[in-house]
Chains A and B, each alone.
Chain A
Amino acid sequence: MKRVAIVLAIVSMLTILAPALLTLAQPAYTPHENPAAIKSSPDLVALLSVYSDSFSLAALGKYSNAQSVIKELTRANIPDQLKGLANRFNSLAQEIFIRLNNADTALDSASALLAINQLESVKTKLDSAEINIREAESLLKDIGAAAKSLKSALGVLAVPISQPIESAYVRLERSLLRLQELIAELARLQQSLTERQKVKASRLVPTELTLSVSPISAFVGESVTATGALFGSVPLPGRKVTLLLDNEPVSVTTQPDGAFSAQITVPYKYTSQVTLRAVYLPSGDDTATYLAGESQPLKITTKFYLSQLDVVAPKKAHPGFPTAIGGELSSTGEEVERHIKILWDNSLLTEKRVKGKFSFEVTAPPDTQPGKHTLTLLALPQQRYSGATEDLTVEVTTLPIQADIQTPSLIVLPGKAQVKGKASWGTVPINDAEVRLSFRQSLTQATTTADGSFATFIDSTLDLSLIGPQEITISITPTEPWYEPLTTKKELFTINPLNLALTLFAFVSLGLMVYPKVRAGARIPREEVISPLPSPEPSLVSPPPHPRYEFVGIKGRILAAYLGTLEIVEKVCQARLQPHFTLREFLKATASKLPAALPPFTELTALTELALYAIRHLDEETAHRAEKLADTIKEELHREHT
């Protein structure tokens, strides 16, 4: 008992400690939590901090960084009650950053233009800066009010308002102050530049530039002649004038009479016209004397052959499968050989040389996913011929294959079974396709031949199954990417004769063991108890008498001895052997009233139980002993009651 207790204690300790050992082997952090059980807890302090950070960035002139931060906030996890206010705050912040950026850029440009005496442009830039600064001032007031509203709203959500929220709000207020200082600084700069612009305008001599071009119309790539002259109060010789053809600069120097002339090539820009203008920017000593000058812009009409690309292509394609496309590349000029690029989802697929009508094959990349894709044909511009492009939407699909699989209707385990089949797409056989057959725990591979057929054997090992249907999975993967891999399942009827035989053997053995006992058990009562004798009708008031039996054999003699004694004992003790009583229970019930006859009646009861329930056969001596005990009991009871 002591040993059992020790073993139980050790087992209990191990059971308690085992989960702890498992826990030790786990990662240091929780790998995940159930998203359905997660309580939403937006970080309001972080939200305020991000606003103050973005305003601080803007105060440092990093407007695009500040804009990025606010843009990212649009995806933030913000409580529904705050979303409207936060969105308004975000849009105000974005607007002020744009205004400040515009003002800053305009002032920078104005400053640069002022340095080269381009006073007209300076004025435009300064006006723009002024408008933006005024807007920024107005927006800052709105943001200040919105920040107060945001604080109140956060206070409602976090009652009482926490120290971290209060601190974050103070930081936000400080960053807004810095932004206010920046706006004031920009306004001061704008004022200063305006003053300088006015001073220069009153002191410097204006300049005048004339410009003409001939011819006024030319093919792309051809040259035109630009002529003009630069005057101050007098013609200005030896000055550098910049000709800007669609902002592409060409420099010329003025002649002694202030005139200039230059050959300019019309760029390969396939637009209807380009703009030419001349600009004079004072340099050296001129910066203290002359203002910058600019000619009126001139329009040069450009000529070129307009190209048109018409493409006919099927609406559907398959990965890796060549598709024929055709079309025509036409133009208003002579027909020449042109270079075409073919793009698949904006990636170069192939290049072709075509002249007029064309037809060729394009192949969608083998790894293309099913779905809609874009096929682009791009005719490159060539000399006087403009470029052309055509986008086509192509739906990529894979071709479903069919398989005719032949499996045996019956498989005997363990063993091999042949599986044959043929894979095709319509009438086209699928060759070199990989065939994988998965049956129970075995995997077999095969390859289809030129006519799409395959034949292989599947192995089936011995297991605990007896008889019944089992599933085989066949998957066919063609090498051609345009075919869709196929997976199919079939049921095979299997018989496992060895297991069947073993099971049968087990049942037969069991039957052989059990059957004789069942038979013996059934025979004994039939041998010993012949038939009940008819008993008199029971009276209504007294209990029914015991049925009378005629006993034969050893067991019969023992039972007869007991029954003979039983009647006397019932009478003497005035107790009846009820149907639900066992013999022992009856013995116990009558023991107190049979002082002298108790030992023999106890022994007789035991012998009777043996006769009724024991498997072993009883001998003659036992029967004799039972009868003797019955006589003894009768004598004892008779003596006691006389």
Chain B
Amino acid sequence: MSIHKFLAIITAVVLLILAGVVWFFPPNDDFRMENPFWNGTRETFTYPFSPLKSLADLPQGQGQGAVLVLIPYVDFTAGDLEAIKSFVTRGGTLVLADDYGYGNQVLGYLGLNARFFATPLLDPLINYKNQWVPSIFHLESSPLTNGIESLVFNHPTALMNVEPAATLARSSAFSFIDLNNDELKEDNEPFGPFPVISQHNLELGQIILIADPSLFINSMEEMPGNNNLVRNIATLSATQLFVDQSHLPQSSLQQTKNLMANVRGYLTTPLGTLGLTALALSLTLMPFWRERR
């Protein structure tokens, strides 16, 4: 066997094995609905939540009453922002869960005064294990907080410019905003309580702001109260519940998976299927054709 043939076979085998591994190994990206690991959301967003690959696919009917959970870790295009605004103003519910991402871009476009602090909220005393994982006990009565005694956040931020009437959950009086990220309370750093969940109306729809998307990850779902919050979000809509996947960061593994899914999607079209069959036949019959020549 010549060296060229040997290298070609080895390359093909390695590529096939790699493709198999990429295809079958679950993604480990933060917040992904396919991710079964601690930082994914597969255990949290089960049926009836469904993944949304593009904001262009949002239902735009008047008064459709669907719910969109949006974790904005990738910036938005003008088209995305318009799709979100149209969805909300026509009766949809937007659950915007952000800490250090692009949530303020959405809020600015929607014309709301509320903003995410986008700097860490620490609570040295009322917490699960350390100050980065604060417990939230101050909850106002509402359908969203129904049956919840407390929530546990994970590396959250806080909300600002929120009216008291719109606040559904607040951090403790001991919490503070760590402006210089030194994990210590400085004199210029404001003390709590801070709003961490709020509810706002916009024309026919409503917007729920949550200052930490991490309370949706699989490992946080076991915390008391967190699973009830997801259940309550699910009851906000009798129609459709979407979880946006298009504004989550993508690892190389996920990008490759997407590429393979796109290729597979193309191959499942009539043209793609025919092309694949033609290619397979050509490769199979090539030696025969060569010999004839």
Enumerate chain A interface residues (CB-CB to B < 8 A): 18-19, 22, 25-36, 38-43, 46-47, 50, 68-69, 72-73, 75-77, 367, 369, 414, 461-464, 477, 481, 485, 487, 498-499, 502-503, 505-506, 509-510, 513
The tally of residues in B whose CB lies under 8 Å from a CB in A reads: 60
| Beta-carbon nearest neighbor of B31 in chain A | A31
| Beta-carbon nearest neighbor of A71 in chain B | B173
CB <8 Å contact, A369 and B235 = yes
> A46-B125, A369-B235, A464-B267 given as contacts; is B130 within 8 A of A31 (CB)?
no
Which residues of chain A are within 8 angstroms of B126 by Cβ–Cβ distance?
A: 72, 75-77
Q: Name the one of A32, A36, A502 contacting B30, with C-beta atoms under 8 angstroms.
A: A32
Closest Cβ–Cβ distance, residue A390 to chain B (whole Å): 24
CB <8 Å contact, B133 and A38 = yes
Which residues of chain A are within 8 angstroms of B252 by Cβ–Cβ distance?
A: 18-19, 22
CB <8 Å contact, A25 and B129 = no
Instruction: Tell me the B101-148 residues at the A interface (CB within 8 Å).
Output: 101, 119-120, 124-133, 135, 137, 143, 146
**26 interchain pairs, CB-CB under 8 A:** A22-B250, A22-B251, A26-B73, A26-B249, A27-B73, A29-B119, A31-B73, A32-B30, A32-B39, A34-B38, A34-B39, A35-B129, A42-B125, A68-B173, A72-B172, A75-B126, A77-B125, A77-B126, A77-B130, A498-B270, A502-B273, A502-B277, A506-B281, A509-B281, A509-B285, A513-B287
The answer to whether B219 has its CB under 8 Å from any CB of chain A is yes
The answer to whether B262 has its CB under 8 Å from any CB of chain A is no
Closest Cβ–Cβ distance, residue A335 to chain B (whole Å): 39
CB <8 Å contact, B137 and A75 = yes
Closest Cβ–Cβ distance, residue A636 to chain B (whole Å): 36
* Tally of A-B Cβ pairs under 8 angstroms: 142
Q: Name the one of B30, B125, B129 contacting A40, with C-beta atoms under 8 angstroms.
A: B129
Closest Cβ–Cβ distance, residue A525 to chain B (whole Å): 21
Enumerate chain B interface residues (CB-CB to A < 8 A): 30, 38-39, 47, 73-74, 99-101, 119-120, 124-133, 135, 137, 143, 146, 152, 154-155, 172-174, 181, 185, 213-214, 217, 219-220, 223, 235, 238-239, 249-252, 267-270, 273-274, 276-277, 280-281, 284-285, 287-288
CB <8 Å contact, B125 and A50 = yes
Q: Give me 18 other A-B pairs in contact (C-beta within 8 A), A42-B130, A75-B126 excluded.
A: A22-B252, A27-B101, A34-B39, A35-B129, A43-B125, A72-B126, A75-B172, A76-B126, A77-B127, A77-B128, A367-B143, A463-B268, A477-B238, A485-B238, A498-B273, A509-B285, A513-B285, A513-B287
Q: Name the one of A28, A35, A46 contacting B128, with C-beta atoms under 8 angstroms.
A: A35
Bound CA–CA A35/B124 (angstroms): 16
| Beta-carbon nearest neighbor of B215 in chain A | A32
> A73-B125, A513-B288 given as contacts; is B146 within 8 A of A462 (CB)?
no
Which residues of chain A are within 8 angstroms of B143 by Cβ–Cβ distance?
A: 367, 369
Instruction: Across the A-B interface, give the 10 residue pairs with the lowest CB-CB distance, nearest first.
Output: A43-B124, A32-B214, A46-B124, A27-B100, A463-B268, A76-B125, A40-B129, A32-B154, A462-B270, A502-B277
Closest Cβ–Cβ distance, residue A511 to chain B (whole Å): 10
Which residues of chain A are within 8 angstroms of B137 by Cβ–Cβ distance?
A: 75
Bound CA–CA A542/B223 (angstroms): 84
